[in-house]
Amino acid sequence: MPEGRISAVRLLVLGGSVFVGRVVVTAGIDRGWSVTTFNRGRTEWAHPKARHVVGDRLRPSDLEQLKHA
């Protein structure tokens, strides 16, 4: 791999369904990155090419799901 090149990018977005989060998710997908969103599932929008994990960041058991994302 050439120096300074990244082979793969994994992006985790907390929220990711409204306002800036939606733009960040879409930009990551457009760049070919592996994108995961983590939110409480209160908003219906989710990018079809992003992995969507439902949970609350204040619950340690919900955060455990991210180990496999």
How far apart CA 22 and CA 59 sit, in angstroms, is 23
pLDDT tens for each residue of 16-61: 888 899 999 999 999 999 999 999 999 888 899 999 999 999 999 9
In a domain, 66, yes or no: no
Strand ordering across the sheet containing 10-14: 10-14, 34-39, 51-54
In a domain, 67, yes or no: no
Indicate the residue type of 69. Answer: A
In a domain, 64, yes or no: no
In a domain, 65, yes or no: no
Q: What is the mean pLDDT of the chain?
A: 89
Structural domains counted in the chain = 1
* Confidence band for 6, pLDDT divided at 50, 70 and 90: low
Whole-model pTM over 0.85: no
What local confidence, expressed as pLDDT, does residue 19 receive?
86
